[in-house]
Amino acid sequence: MRLVKQFLAVAAVALVGSQCIAAVEGNFLLTLVIGVLTAVLSVVVYRWVVRRTERREPTELAQDGRGGKLGRGSLIGLAMFAAVIANIAFVGGYHVEGWGSPTGALGLLGVMAAAAVTEELLFRGVLFRIVEERTGTWIALALTGVVFGAMHLVNPDASLWGATAIAIEAGFMLAACYAATRNLWVPIGLHFGWNFAAGGIFSVVVSGNGESKGLLDASTSGPVALSGGAFGPEGSLYAVLAGVVLTVVFLWLAKRRGHIVPRRRRTAQAPGRRTAQAPATVTVTR
């Protein structure tokens, strides 16, 4: 039940925040403010519900060093997506026409902050963390990664391949990042850096959600395998390869640091079953 309670608590904040952002669409300042408030409130609610349901301090959101962890994660995400765009541009699939919209980028800053924080709390903070306790790191990574990818099938320009790509390059990679660091700040930063680079800087489609108006006025073209097509560069083979590389690196770090959780062995006796007893010995006295 703690999984359900934690998930619903954070999901409620995410839902209200997304509805408010949709209601002020076109107003970059309100979008920025509401997005940041949604991100902050979701952290507050997560910490509160974890204390209530688990009777512990949520060390995965410890305040010490959070700025540095967010910064490192954001730089990794920015660099990762910049490398993807550079490869697409090298084969002629990314075109810059000029400068885009600074105000649009500010609005996307709020949107991407809300998305990164709420999704990481839901999928890594709640689902992956609790499932991992029962099934171990490997099964939890596979299960939650697939769920994360499937969630993107509801996006307007979604495709089965796009959802599969997201599962590999983001679902697996972000879970591996959490396993390696055992905190949520780094994957939150990574998720934000990746998304903001896509929409807020390079102005490409993010996860099949339509065109973005960021700092650059740009477009993509070419084979879907290289450009990602209507789903955006996240559906390109370059993005999948980048995600796989980082997943391997994070899992190597997790193993080196002793953070891999083994699968729990069933030791308790199943209800309703009795263990065989040794025959009683009879002592005869003379």
pLDDT computed for residue 1 by the predictor: 87
In whole angstroms, what is the distance from residue 260 CA to residue 105 CA? 38
Integer CA distances (angstroms), 35 to 4, 141, 196, in order: 24, 28, 13
pLDDT computed for residue 269 by the predictor: 40
Q: Are 60 and 183 in contact (CB under 8 A)?
A: yes
Smallest CA-to-CA distance from 108 within 26, 11, 220, 231 is with 26
Average pLDDT value for the chain: 90
Structure tokens at 60: 């995965």
Residue 268 has pLDDT above 60, yes or no: no
pLDDT digits (tens, 9 = 90+) for 31-78: 999 999 999 999 999 999 999 999 999 999 999 999 999 999 999 999
Q: How confident is the model at residue 276 (pLDDT cuts 50, 70, 90)?
A: very low
SS3 269: coil
Residue 273 has pLDDT above 80, yes or no: no
pTM of the predicted structure, to 2 decimals:
0.90
In whole angstroms, what is the distance from residue 206 CA to residue 105 CA? 13
Identify each DSSP E strand in 70-221 by its residue range. Answer: 94-99, 216-220
Tokens 């591996």 -> residue: 176
Structure tokens at 206: 């993010």
Residue 117 has pLDDT above 70, yes or no: yes
What end-to-end distance do the CA atoms of the chain give, in Å?
62
Q: Which residues of 95-134 are buried (b: 16+ CB within 10 A; e: fewer)?
A: eeeeebbeebbbbbbbbbbbbbbbbbbbbbbbbbbbbbee
Structure tokens at 200: 């807020």
Residue 272 has pLDDT above 60, yes or no: no
SS3 59: helix
In whole angstroms, what is the distance from residue 106 CA to residue 215 CA? 9
Q: Are 175 and 144 in contact (CB under 8 A)?
A: yes
Q: Are 23 and 17 in contact (CB under 8 A)?
A: no
**Domain extent listing, the chain:** 64-256
Tokens 């990746």 -> residue: 194
Average pLDDT estimate for 196-222: 91
In whole angstroms, what is the distance from residue 161 CA to residue 247 CA? 19
